[in-house]
Amino acid sequence: MQRKRTMDDPRCSLVGQDGGGTRYGSLSEEAIEIPQCSDSALAQKSPTNVFSDGYTKIDFVLVWETIPWELSGQQDSLENGDLQDTSATIHRTWRKMFLDKLHAAGLHMEKHMIHAEKKVVHYLLLSAPWSVLCYYAEELQFRVPLEALPRQTSNWSASMLRQLGIPNMMAQEVPNLPLEYYTCPFKANKLCWFLGSDEQDIFFSSTQRHQILYEILATTQYGHSKEREVGVDRLLSENVFTAAFPLHEARTRHPPGIHPDPAPPASPSPTPCLSPQGPYKLRPEQTAAGSLSQRQVLFQYWASWRKWSKYQPLDHIRNYFGEKVAFYFAWLGFYTGWLLPAAVVGTVVFIAGIFLMFSDVPSQEICRSEEQYWMCPLCKTCTYWQLSKICSTFMAGRLFDHGGTIFFSIFMSLWAVLFLEFWKRTNASLAHHWDCSEFEDIEERPRPQFTAMAPMTIINPITGAEEPYFPKRSRLHRILAGSMVIIMMIAVVVMFVVSVILYRAVVAILLSSSGYFWFAASASRIASITGSVVNLIFILILSKIYISLAHFLTKWEMHCTQTKYEDAFTFKVFIFQFVTFYSSPVYIAFFKGKFVGYPGNYQSFLGVRNEECSPGGCFIELAQELLIIMVGKQIINNVQEVAIPKLKCWWRKHKLLSSKKASEEGESVLVEQVPWVMDHQLLVFEGLFDEYLEMVLQFGFITIFVAACPLAPLFALLNNWVEIRLDAHKFVCDYRRPVAERAQGIGIWFSILEAITHLAIISNAFLIAFTSDFLPRVYYQYVHDSSLRGYVNFTLAYAPRDFVLQSNATCRYRAFRDQDGNLTLTYWQLLAIRLGFIIVFEHVVFFIGRVIAWLVPDIPESVEVKVKRERYLAKEALAENKVLLERRETRGKASITDLPAGRDWETEQFASS
């Protein structure tokens, strides 16, 4: 919400004084004249992130396209031409009103154009003068430095390795390390107190300047507010502008400490600032580390594949992309580091399963049984089959289903609790280090879109400031209406899950009755694998549809702050994605094969017989499902992250520049190298949601179903090592620079991770109790034979007498039933053992987790000491200021009382001294 600056501020001049005296917020109805720079003028200087004058910084770029006048009449039909002319006229009107108000707000502008064969691309460069920066810095409560601090490293693994005396192979020396400061909110009338206030060009960082420009662009009205004709985001959606972005940093052309002459050079520069290799790569003459730009530092020491084993330069990431992006990469690196012990233990458990597989007595009994066990048909038209035919499948199931599974499930449950507790500490340390510990409670302002659209204002009870407001009752009604839509979409997902279940059953029946031995023997496995693939395709399609719907619903709910908006959107989409991705594994783990019935009395659903577990058991099916969904999704995502950005960048560059007209070849190359054109060719940054979602779903797979696949942490670790560098390369090389956003942590994702951790404990307990063969084996060892001889016969029931008389053949099936089909005493004893195991497992793990949470404080002691120290220094500063003010007031009173009395100040004349 734009407002005028108060007139009693002695430090900040009116914004409009730079542009002919127009006051800030006034609306100009006259057409603005924007300085234009032709392509030939670009040869007069080396292209950098400044205007043609050589020193005015470019803070933001607006781009739009128009059709040349000579081509505007060449339309396919008169009707289409009229529609296009009407649309172009509306766009020109909106664009003019929007730019008029930006000009009235005091922004500096410079325009460039590139003529293509069928269009003209307009680049409008924007820059905020010092007065605008000061006004909005106070409005947005930017924190600025008061006093420099000594550099303190707080990497837990580096400290641990140093104490153990082990060389740290992950450490690296990154140049241009950002300094640490004591900071406080900016006040224009206290400008002289802040460090670097005498250097206006560098006092505000580039990310702060970008935030100020985006605030102005997002809140500027170009039409009627009731029709939501406010802000650059709406104009982008209406194609009035095709792009709006801040620029990436250009290469530094001067050594540190040497500032260029503000006057533009008189002759063309012999060496262009940007090379065809990209503005982030080193030139041959750049040998000194201090001469690198921030983007080059990030490319060399973060996005490079050679640095896969090194720490991430989080402070550099924060300075260049903002706290929100930095918190994501800090969490991703922390999570990847913690996956290492989980992957090691999981691999050891898997290797132990290999040795146990060859020495397992029940596996040997099945493989040697030959024609001893004839099993009942799996469908009405299927034939009887021998249990010995599943020898290899049953042995493969022993890789995942053995005694080590219990240990690993407990280990991963406690690992998840420890991971979250120590992330709390790391989050608190980073939030304090980056000056955002109180961002959400005190410093965060309403979203620009909410500010422009809110119907009323209210006083903030914490800050006392007037803020835009949307009634909570109205928002609640909208949330409830949106919840109904979400429930409907979840019902659609359930329908797809049911269809996949029916698909498996039908495919299994068709293959079993096909007459081909290999298909008949592998019918269940083929149906399970193909069903997983079909399920993955459904997941990817439904996800795209639902995310667009969630965006619309979240905007409609009118959330005040960006944090609340993103939390609401995240919750909606995660609920949907959770049901979508986990429905099939949950069905296999807890429902498949549990409601089958017995020969002669099979249960059916929609006329189709309920699915049984494969002859090897549901555990091996669950492992297959996890590997297909988890690993398959990771491979697809990584291929997309590598191939799609490159293809999109190539196509965008080809589309923008392939048909560009230029009078000289050298001039054409130079125009392509200007930073606003190069950045325009990059991809639009669409937020961190997809990155977080991918990792949190992965976290769910390695915790909720880890009992069925101990190798899941290893696959996650390998994927994340690649993911960090892929994401880093995308941010540095493929994406336009995003507007920096502040954050206090990873937001609602932490609450989701906590919920997944608690769900994982319950899930693993039920998985071991009802899906695994661990408890039946333990029961048989203690009650019958400790060597497990005869265990296979113990788990197989005889077909009921009615079924035998009807088919004239005796067969076996997996169940604890007698020959009348009734459940035996063994079944009820095992059920009691299973329920008891669930209760004991959950209580023990939850208790240990609570003890760990109690022993590990959320905020490190060192951070608490720093916070107390800063509060003490703030009080000392206030006390000193109060004493100085009192002294000044005392001196003023003394000077007044010392004046001669009785003089007439209005009429008496005094001699000059």
Euclidean distance between CA atoms 38 and 115, whole angstroms: 11
Determine which helix (DSSP H) or strand (DSSP E) holds 126, and give its type and residue range: strand 120-127
Rounded to an integer, the average pLDDT of 181-204 is 81
Distances (CA, A) of 783 to 380, 434, 776, 793, 827: 37, 62, 10, 15, 14
Tell me the pLDDT of the chain averaged across its residues.
Answer: 76
> Do the beta carbons of residue 212 and residue 140 sit within 8 Å?
yes
Q: How many helices and strands, by DSSP H and E, does the chain display?
A: 30, 17
Q: What percent of the chain lies above the pLDDT cut of 90?
A: 11
User: Could you tell me the pLDDT band of residue 223, with boundaries at 50, 70 and 90?
Assistant: confident
Contact criterion met (CB below 8 Å) for 172 and 307: yes
Confidence class for position 879, pLDDT limits 50, 70, 90: low
Whether 220 contacts 211, CB under 8 Å: no
pLDDT digits (tens, 9 = 90+) for 67-83: 776 555 554 444 455 55
Q: How confident is the model at residue 53 (pLDDT cuts 50, 70, 90)?
A: confident
Residue 677 CA to residue 674 CA, distance in Å, equals 6
pLDDT for 125 beyond 60:
yes
Residues contacting 769, CB < 8 A, separation 6+: 775, 834, 835, 837, 838, 841
Tell me what pLDDT residue 227 has. 59
Q: What is the pLDDT of residues 674-701, one digit of tens each?
A: 888 888 888 888 888 888 988 998 898 8
Q: Which of 30-34, 112-116, 565-569, 583-587 has the lowest mean pLDDT?
A: 30-34
pLDDT digits (tens, 9 = 90+) for 134-188: 998 888 888 888 777 766 656 667 777 777 777 777 778 888 888 877 777 888 8
Nearest to 342 by CA among 712, 856, 846, 749: 712
Distance CA 133, CA 200 (A): 10
User: Which element (helix H / strand E) includes 597?
Assistant: strand 597-598
Q: What's the token pair of residue 837? A: 């195991």
CA distance 547 to 535: 18
- Which one-letter amino acid corresponds to residue 590? F
Share of the chain above pLDDT 70, in %: 75
Q: Are 521 and 385 in contact (CB under 8 A)?
A: yes
- pTM score, whole prediction: 0.80
Rounded CA separation 443/561 (Å): 11
Integer Cα distance of 604 and 601 in angstroms: 10
pLDDT score at 282 = 67
* Rounded Cα gap, residues 200 and 599, in angstroms: 85
What is the model's pLDDT at position 17?
34
- Most confident of the ranges 399-408, 608-617, 853-862: 399-408
Give the 3-state DSSP-derived string for 165-179, with helices as H, strands as E and coil as C. Answer: CCCCCCCCCCCCCCC
Judge contact between 681 and 652, C-beta under 8 A.
yes
What is the mean predicted confidence (pLDDT) over 724-747? 89
What's the average model confidence in pLDDT over 900-911? 37
What would the two tokens of residue 580 be?
Answer: 């979508």
Of 591, 599, 584, 613, residue with least CA distance to 394: 613
The region of weakest confidence among 17-26, 561-570, 596-605 is 17-26
Q: What pLDDT does residue 195 have?
A: 81
Residue 442, pLDDT above cutoff 80: no
| Integer angstrom CA distances of residue 781 from 91, 774, 784 | 80, 11, 6
- In degrees, rounded to 5, the angle at the alpha carbon of residue 224 between the alpha carbons of residues 221 and 227 is 110
Residue 601's pLDDT is what?
Answer: 78
Q: How far apart are the first and last CA of the chain?
A: 54
Say whether pLDDT at 598 is over 90.
no
Name the more confident of 245 and 200: 245
- Taking the C-alpha atoms of residue 49 and residue 251, their distance in angstroms, rounded to an integer, is 9
For the cut 90, the answer to whether the pLDDT of residue 345 exceeds it is yes
CA nearest to 125, candidates 29, 48, 22: 48
- Decide which of 551 and 422 is more confident: 422
Q: Return d(Cα 779, Cα 830) in angstroms, integer.
A: 8
Mark 105-129 as b/e (b = at least 16 C-beta within 10 Å). Answer: bbbbbbebebebeeeebbbbbbbbb
| Higher pLDDT among residues 757 and 385, named by residue | 757
Sign (positive or negative) of CA dihedral 873, 878, 879, 880:
positive
pLDDT at 657 (0 to 100): 55
Query: At residue 801, does pLDDT exceed 60?
Result: yes
Nearest CA-CA partner of 707 in 775, 617, 767, 631: 767
Task: Report the pLDDT averaged over residues 263-268.
Answer: 38
**The token pair that represents 719 in the structure block:** 């994927």
pLDDT at 912 over 50: no
At residue 276 the predicted structure's pLDDT band, cuts being 50, 70 and 90, is very low
Residue 320 has a pLDDT of 92
Which bin fits 377, alpha (ψ -120 to 50), beta or left (φ > 0)? beta
What pLDDT is recorded for position 812? 86
pLDDT of 5 above 50: no
pLDDT of residue 529: 76
pLDDT at res. 36: 56
Q: Who has greater pLDDT, 395 or 513? A: 395
66 DSSP 8-state letter: E
User: What is the band of 436 on the pLDDT scale with cuts at 50, 70, 90?
Assistant: confident
Of 16-25, 134-143, 291-300, which range is least confident? 16-25
Query: Is residue 14 very low, low, confident or very high in pLDDT (cuts 50, 70, 90)?
Result: very low
Q: What share of the chain is helix, strand, coil (3-state, %, to 5)?
A: 60, 10, 35
Query: Hey, what amino acid is at 85?
Result: D
Q: Which residue's entry shows tokens 């020491």?
A: 301
User: According to the model, what pLDDT value does residue 463 have?
Assistant: 61
Q: How confident is the model at residue 659 (pLDDT cuts 50, 70, 90)?
A: very low
Handedness of CA 342, 344, 349, 353 (dihedral sign): positive
Encoded tokens for 65: 């396209």
Please say whether the beta carbons of 212 and 128 come within 8 A.
yes
State how far the alpha carbon of 491 is from the alpha carbons of 479, 487, 618, 700, 799, in Å: 18, 6, 25, 22, 38
Cα gap 312→303, rounded to integer Å: 9
**Whether the predicted pLDDT of 779 surpasses 70:** yes
C-beta of residue 159 within 8 angstroms of C-beta of residue 45:
no
Contact present, 342 and 350 (Cβ < 8 Å): no
Q: What whole-number distance in Å separates Cα of residue 546 and Cα of residue 488?
A: 11
Residue bearing the bigger pLDDT, 463 or 352: 352
User: Residue 761: which of 851, 846, 847 has the closest Cα?
Assistant: 846
Taking 60 as the threshold, does the pLDDT of residue 599 lie above it? yes
- Over residues 649-670, the mean pLDDT reads 53
